[in-house]
């Protein structure tokens, strides 16, 4: 099984079992080149299962935990517990979890896309099937420039052209790179970038437009004007974006629901340059099928690791320092088959809260309290590896890794962790004036790329598939038996051992009981993160806590959920863990497994 010629499987859009220390957990499933879990030279301390922990370069209270693909969740927990005890409540009690065999130094494991953390040397190009060469994963500044933070350090002063100056410091002028490719970020991501770039974390629509145009010339130059429609659509559609009104009611500001805000900025996100777009036509070969997505934002809608977080401390990613914005469009890294006319659909992106993960404290207000960590000593589950013959493989759609028998035993944040609230200074309130209303005069070089699905063939499949239409690469047209739809589907890795933990027995009673009560349990990854929408009254992190009362127990227990970023190259797991009382006594829930509380499980 599993050699999809494309991308490492762990970086593909799939669930990360994270409990299986299977070999197929990691990248072995992805490319032919098995990344040998090369525990590359890492200056950081190593822990069991190859887990490495190192201090965050800039954040004093944060450590970075690199978790190999083969690591067991229990090992992760024990490492976190140990580190938490070691550092004590005053020490670095926040952790950023990274998956993959990465090292902060130079990384670049075999063919496996390793995550370059501090340097920009790493390159990842997943067109060719894991040919480790010409990868062009550019700088991962998400660790780099989290220094310029606090209040007002970056006011993004006048919106007229504040960021231009910053960009120029980094790369070529925006006029210089005329090819301005479409950035690999979804609209939702870009809107987050834009809003989070402001210190007060709200923007008018026009400011969002301008920010995006300034940072992604593609939209200013080549995109059809409909992209603004899409921006508005995204603002309305996603409830993570909420509209606020100025006191005088004259202006609408778009903000990000604070619980949902991961404070993603352009810097923090890893940006990938693609090379010359024309080569895409020239090189039709290789399994790249060209419909793959460029790496996008790390997806928050993935697995969460809810962890005991008794106090309102949260990791603060200081909002993009406007300086040294590695403006995405420059450094075109030679031939990249990416920029075809077919608009790629950006993979899922940081949608909602990640309640306990990376909550940003917008400014000031340090309410550091004593964190308490529940020592998780689950002596339960670490279940057999690769028991894929498990017949109870619930034959249903994408379920999350769920509280099956191999539950990670994790406690859940019990306290309000967003108490500090986002107090955006009203003083910086009127900097939203006008934002140069130049009407943009109709995009000079509008090329009418018919992105509208042509679909000239007869429709047979219910989910329409886009034909290559232009430059139809014949080698690619694997004539499908049924409808003539060309199927470019990658070689599906048959899920591997990746035993889908069937947790769905719980619905047995849900059919009879009040259905609402059993709604959670996270049928979809998004539900996992978007559920804290209501209950406006409590300013506390309504989301994550509520998720936990799902099962039978009303305790602040949650299923073990692991964020997998489903990013193409870098999967970041950002977990905010607080350690307060390290005495292992708190509730004695250290080794509680889900099966105790959810009888339907196992």
291 token code pair: 């419909």
513 binds its own copies (CB under 8 A): yes
d(CA 239, CA 47): 40
Which residue among 264, 266, 550, 598 contacts its own copies (CB under 8 A)? 550
Name which of 399 and 545 has its Cβ closer to DNA.
399
Q: What is the DSSP letter of 596?
A: H
SS3 state at 255: strand
d(CA 588, CA 572): 30
Looking up tokens 């259905």, which residue turns up?
Answer: 515
Residue 515 site contact among its own copies, Mg ion, DNA, none (CB < 5 to 8 Å, cut-off depends on kind): its own copies
Binding mask 98-137 for DNA (x = CB under 7 A): ----------------------------------------
Strand partners, 99: 67
Sheet holding 202-203, edge to edge: 202-203, 252-256, 241-245
Which residue among 90, 158, 165, 460 contacts its own copies (CB under 8 A)? 460
228 binds its own copies (CB under 8 A): yes
Q: How far is the CB of 235 from Mg ion (least distance, A)?
A: 5
Span interacting with its own copies, options 7-15, 153-161, 395-403, 558-566, rule CB under 8 A:
395-403
459 binds its own copies (CB under 8 A): yes
Looking up tokens 């894991």, which residue turns up?
Answer: 130
Residue 489 site contact among Mg ion, DNA, its own copies, none (CB < 5 to 8 Å, cut-off depends on kind): DNA
Residue among 98, 58, 74, 94 nearest 572 (CA): 98
Strand partners, 411: 557
Which residue among 141, 327, 335, 351 contacts DNA (CB under 7 A)? 351
| Dihedral over alpha carbons 182, 129, 400, 49 (to 10 degrees) | -120
382 binds DNA (CB under 7 A): no
SS3 state at 245: strand
Name which of 415 and 502 has its Cβ closer to DNA.
502
Q: Is-contact 407 400, C-beta < 8 A?
A: no
Q: Give the count of beta carbons closer than 10 Å to the beta carbon of residue 450.
A: 10
478 binds DNA (CB under 7 A): yes
d(CA 51, CA 48): 6
- Our measurement of the distance from residue 576's CA atom to the centroid of its chain's CA atoms, rounded to an integer in Å, reads 15
For DNA, the binding residues in 511-570 under the rule CB under 7 A are: 523-526
Q: Give the count of beta carbons closer than 10 Å to the beta carbon of residue 166.
A: 21
Which residue among 303, 412, 418, 579 contacts its own copies (CB under 8 A)? 418
472 binds DNA (CB under 7 A): no
Span interacting with DNA, options 60-68, 321-329, 473-481, 569-577, rule CB under 7 A:
473-481
Which residue among 106, 120, 160, 527 contacts its own copies (CB under 8 A)? 527
Q: How far is the CB of 104 from DNA (least distance, A)?
A: 27
133 binds its own copies (CB under 8 A): no
Residue 342 site contact among DNA, Mg ion, its own copies, none (CB < 5 to 8 Å, cut-off depends on kind): DNA
Q: Give the count of beta carbons closer than 10 Å to the beta carbon of residue 373.
A: 26
Which residue among 453, 472, 491, 583 contacts its own copies (CB under 8 A)? 453
Span interacting with DNA, options 34-42, 124-132, 449-457, 593-601, rule CB under 7 A:
449-457
243 binds its own copies (CB under 8 A): yes
Which residue among 477, 480, 553, 587 contacts DNA (CB under 7 A)? 480
CA angle 527, 530, 535 (to 5 degrees): 120
471 binds DNA (CB under 7 A): no
* 185 phi-psi bin (left φ>0, alpha ψ -120 to 50, beta other): beta
Q: How far is the CB of 248 from Mg ion (least distance, A)?
A: 22
d(CA 252, CA 345): 29
Q: How far is the CB of 280 from its own copies (least distance, A)?
A: 23
449 binds its own copies (CB under 8 A): no
Which residue among 325, 349, 411, 550 contacts DNA (CB under 7 A)? 349
Q: Give the count of beta carbons closer than 10 Å to the beta carbon of residue 434.
A: 11
489 binds its own copies (CB under 8 A): no
- Our measurement of the distance from residue 211's CA atom to the centroid of its chain's CA atoms, rounded to an integer in Å, reads 21
Q: How far is the CB of 2 from DNA (least distance, A)?
A: 8
Q: Is-contact 189 242, C-beta < 8 A?
A: no
Q: How far is the CB of 466 from its own copies (least distance, A)?
A: 11
387 binds its own copies (CB under 8 A): no
């Amino acid at each position: 099984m599993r050699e999809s010629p494309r991308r490492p499987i762990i970086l593909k859009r799939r669930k990360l079992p994270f409990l299986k220390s299977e070999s197929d957990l990691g990248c072995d499933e992805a490319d032919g080149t098995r990344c040998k879990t090369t525990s590359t030279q890492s200056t950081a301390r190593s822990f069991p299962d190859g887990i490495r922990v190192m201090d965050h370069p800039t954040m004093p209270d944060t450590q970075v935990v690199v978790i190999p693909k083969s690591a067991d969740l229990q090992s992760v927990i024990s490492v976190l517990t140990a580190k938490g005890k070691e550092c004590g409540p005053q020490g670095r009690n926040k952790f950023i979890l990274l998956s993959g065999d990465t090292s902060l130094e130079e990384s670049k494991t075999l063919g496996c896309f390793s995550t370059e953390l501090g340097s920009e040397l790493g390159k990842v190009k997943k067109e060719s099937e894991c040919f480790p060469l010409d990868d062009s994963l550019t700088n991962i500044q998400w660790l780099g420039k989290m220094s310029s933070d606090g209040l007002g350090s970056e006011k993004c002063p006048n919106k007229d052209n504040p960021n231009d100056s910053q960009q120029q410091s980094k790369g070529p002028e925006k006029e210089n790179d005329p090819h301005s490719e479409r950035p690999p970020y979804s609209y939702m991501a870009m809107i987050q970038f834009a809003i989070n770039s402001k210190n007060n974390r709200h923007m008018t629509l026009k400011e969002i437009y301008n920010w995006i145009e300034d940072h992604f010339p593609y939209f200013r130059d080549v995109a059809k004007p409909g992209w603004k429609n899409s921006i508005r659509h995204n603002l309305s559609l996603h409830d993570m974006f909420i509209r606020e009104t100025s006191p005088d009611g004259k202006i609408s500001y778009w903000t990000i629901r604070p619980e949902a805000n991961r404070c993603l900025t352009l810097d923090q996100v890893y940006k990938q340059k693609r090379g010359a777009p024309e080569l895409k036509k020239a090189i039709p070969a290789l399994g790249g099928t060209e419909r793959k997505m460029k790496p996008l934002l790390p997806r928050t809608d993935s697995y969460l690791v809810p962890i005991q977080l008794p106090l309102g401390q949260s990791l603060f990613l200081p909002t993009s320092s406007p300086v040294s914005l590695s403006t995405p469009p420059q450094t075109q890294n030679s031939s990249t088959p990416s920029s075809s006319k077919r608009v790629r659909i950006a993979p899922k992106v940081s949608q909602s809260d990640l309640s306990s993960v990376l909550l940003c404290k917008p400014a000031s207000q340090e309410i550091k309290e004593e964190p308490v960590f529940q020592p998780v000593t689950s002596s339960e589950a670490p279940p057999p590896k690769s028991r894929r013959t498990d017949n109870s493989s619930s034959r249903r759609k994408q379920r999350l890794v769920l509280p099956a028998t191999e539950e990670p035993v994790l406690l859940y944040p019990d306290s309000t962790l967003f108490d500090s609230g986002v107090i955006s200074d009203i003083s910086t309130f009127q900097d939203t004036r006008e934002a140069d209303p130049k009407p943009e005069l109709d995009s000079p070089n509008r090329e009418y790329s018919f992105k509208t699905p042509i679909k000239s063939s007869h429709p047979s499949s219910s989910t329409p598939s886009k034909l290559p239409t232009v430059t139809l690469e014949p080698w690619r047209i694997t004539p499908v038996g049924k409808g003539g739809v060309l199927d470019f589907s990658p070689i599906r890795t048959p899920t591997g051992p990746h035993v889908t933990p069937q947790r769905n027995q719980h619905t047995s009673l849900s059919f009879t009981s009040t259905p609402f009560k059993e709604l959670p349990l996270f049928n979809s990854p998004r539900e996992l993160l978007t559920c804290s929408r209501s209950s406006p009254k409590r300013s506390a992190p309504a989301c994550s806590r509520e998720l936990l009362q799902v099962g039978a127990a009303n305790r602040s227990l949650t299923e073990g959920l692991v964020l997998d970023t489903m990013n193409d190259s870098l999967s970041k797991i950002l977990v905010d863990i607080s350690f307060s009382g390290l005495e292992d006594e708190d509730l004695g829930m250290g080794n509680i497994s889900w099966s105790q509380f959810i009888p339907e499980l196992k």
